[in-house]
Amino acid sequence: MAGPFIVALSAAATSAWLPLNDTVEQFNVGFGVRVNGTGDINYTVQHTFGDPGTVGVDFFDHSFASGRTASIDGNYSSPIKAIRLVVASVSGNAGARLNVLQAGKTR
């Protein structure tokens, strides 16, 4: 099991990959992004199926958590290797915090 993980960004940036255990039985990952502060923020939650330590690894935007401007929560029920937060733009004093928690039985 991986997590809980928390990453926070308050400027346009990309967080480090948060590695998950993709070999557990009944893979489940819950995540929430909390927007805080004053101003506007635009962010996306991304995942990868490849080794996040590999240069040029393919990444994909979460279908619900792409181009968001408010707090949300979501999940993954199919295995992924890692998750990260990408903040595209920030104005004022806004920030975003990604919380990730994985459940599943270790094989």
Cα–Cα distance, 62 to 52 (Å, whole number) = 16
Q: Specify the length of the chain in residues.
A: 107
Q: Check if the beta carbon of residue 17 is closer than 8 Å to that of residue 79.
A: no
CA-to-CA dists, residue 5 to 61, 87, 88, 93, 102, angstroms: 19, 17, 21, 23, 9
90 or 25, which is more confident? 90
Q: How far apart are CA 14 and CA 21, in angstroms?
A: 21
Task: Answer whether residue 100 shows pLDDT above 70.
Answer: yes
Interval 26-68: pLDDT, tens: 899 999 999 999 999 999 999 999 999 998 999 999 999 999 9
Cβ atoms of 15 and 98 closer than 8 Å: yes
The encoded tokens of residue 105 equal 């039985």
Q: The whole model's pTM is what?
A: 0.92
